[in-house]
Amino acid sequence: MKIPKSIQADLALIAITFVWGSTFTIVKSSLAHVSPILFLAIRFWIATAIILACMPRQMFTISGKVLRRGILLSLFLLGGFVFQTLGLRDTSPSYSAFITSLSVLLVPLLGYLFFRNRPRLQTLAGIGLATAGLYLLLMHMKDLNISSGDGLTLVCAILFAFQILFLGAFVATSDYRQLMFLQVAGTAVFCSIMAPFLESPFVIWNWRLILYLLITGVLATALAFYVQARAQQFTTSNRAALIFSLEPFFAALFAYWILGQVLTVREWMGGGLILTGILVSELRLSSRKE
């Protein structure tokens, strides 16, 4: 039985969301050894080198139109990661993951405002369930005041929503490999330029930092953004955003596996509602076809 490409795309997006969910604790730990923007620059240069080595032929036929689109995507990606990494200095990895997931609420709204994409009722129902799940995950926080780290992460969520939305629009008429390369390479270049002006760059090399950079650069950036750009050819931006709302649930699972933090009943319920939201959004009324 052949799996439809749309289902393959959704499964691929779930896989990279699992990878991204594991990186919040890694990035938080890395900031003890390297300044935030320099960390991002090294991470994205590693990813750029890998992408260029794996698919050099496609990178020499980039048109001006694709270049402009890639630069725009890189600005959204740059802003998202910079604000997220800076925010991680003053907030917990789990809370950062929760706030970042709010992009699931923003993609359908921004899609309607910019492209007049009216979401299906099933998508809205799935978003509603995912929102309820995020609320349950957040309810255990004693202090819901917005700290500086939380505010920076909220800006990150908005920029990631734009990246998901515009990538979904661009891959329909542009080579996804070129878009993926341009947004990753552009982020590396911009971070390298910004680092001396926005921080006092420092790096303390050790095996732990090297391991963190390899995990985030190879798996969470080069491989993950390749999969995202390819998968979004066969799924909608709304569904992609909904799948990405699993990120805090996976982050909580890694906290349990690595740090021994036990999930409460409320957190399990929140994660279950997010999963249910994804399933609801995937339902198709097949009576007419039948």
Nearest partner of 34 among 258, 189, 211, judged by Cα? 211
pLDDT at 32 over 70: yes
Q: What is the pLDDT of residues 50-103, one digit of tens each?
A: 999 988 887 778 999 999 999 999 999 999 999 999 888 887 777 788 778 778
Look at residue 24 in the predicted model and tell me its pLDDT.
83
Look at residue 289 in the predicted model and tell me its pLDDT.
39
Nearest partner of 46 among 188, 199, 166, 250, judged by Cα? 188
Look at residue 47 in the predicted model and tell me its pLDDT.
95
- What is the distance of C-alpha 134 from the center of its chain? 16
Look at residue 288 in the predicted model and tell me its pLDDT.
37
Question: 203 in helix, strand or coil?
Answer: strand
Would the CA dihedral through 43, 49, 54, 55 be positive or negative? positive
Cα separation, 105 vs 274, in Å, equals: 12
Tokens of 150: 């939380």
Tokens of 75: 């600005």
Q: What is the pLDDT of residues 214-246, one digit of tens each?
A: 999 999 999 998 898 888 888 887 788 788 878
Q: Which pTM value belongs to this model? A: 0.81
Q: Is residue 184 within 8 Å of residue 19, measured between CB atoms? A: no
Look at residue 113 in the predicted model and tell me its pLDDT.
84
pLDDT confidence tier of residue 290, bands split at 50, 70 and 90: very low
Look at residue 140 in the predicted model and tell me its pLDDT.
54
pLDDT at 48 over 80: yes
User: Between 35 and 284, whose confidence is greater?
Assistant: 35
- Specify the range with the lowest mean pLDDT, choosing from 29-33, 73-77, 133-137, 193-197: 133-137
Q: Which residue has the tokens 């929503």?
A: 161
Q: Which residue has the tokens 């095996």?
A: 207
Cα separation, 86 vs 104, in Å, equals: 21
Cα separation, 245 vs 264, in Å, equals: 19
Q: What is the pLDDT of residues 125-158, one digit of tens each?
A: 888 887 787 777 666 555 555 567 778 888 998 9
pLDDT at 263 over 90: no
User: Strand pairing partners for 203?
Assistant: 34
pLDDT confidence tier of residue 178, bands split at 50, 70 and 90: very high
**Torsion region of 264: left, alpha or beta (phi above 0 gives left; psi -120 to 50 gives alpha):** beta
pLDDT at 200 over 50: yes
Q: Is residue 263 within 8 Å of residue 252, measured between CB atoms? A: yes
Q: Is residue 50 within 8 Å of residue 217, measured between CB atoms? A: yes
pLDDT at 255 over 80: no
Look at residue 287 in the predicted model and tell me its pLDDT.
38
Cα separation, 9 vs 26, in Å, equals: 26
Cβ neighbours of residue 243 under 8 Å, at least 6 residues apart? 10, 13, 14, 17, 278
DSSP 288: T
pLDDT at 251 over 70: yes
- Specify the range with the lowest mean pLDDT, choosing from 74-83, 192-201, 237-246, 251-260: 251-260
Would the CA dihedral through 244, 248, 253, 258 be positive or negative? positive
